[in-house]
Amino acid sequence: MERNEECPECGNEQKFWLTASMEVHLGEKTKWRCSECNFGFIEINGISTLA
């Protein structure tokens, strides 16, 4: 899976790739990586560490 997000390292919109997904007690946890600089962030049940 992939999606476009604003990358804080690159400074513009980049393609992010889904690198991991698992079910935790809070909901679904997903890990995403920027295809350009390898910056990563995590989402748990739709709440992102990008914010």
CATH classification at residue 29:
2.20.25
Q: Domain containing 16: what range?
A: 2-46
Q: Tell me how far apart the alpha carbons of residues 46 and 32 are, in angstroms, rounded to a whole number.
A: 13
Mean of the per-residue pLDDT values of the chain: 95
Judge whether 51 lies within some domain: no
Judge whether 21 lies within some domain: yes
**Domains of the chain: total:** 1
Q: Tell me how far apart the alpha carbons of residues 25 and 33 are, in angstroms, rounded to a whole number.
A: 23
Task: Dump strand ranges (E) for the chain.
Answer: 2-6, 13-24, 27-34, 40-44, 47-48
Rg (CA), the chain: 11
Specify the pTM.
0.89
What are 17-40's pLDDT values in tens digits? 999 999 999 999 999 999 999 999
Residue percentage of the chain with pLDDT more than 70:
100
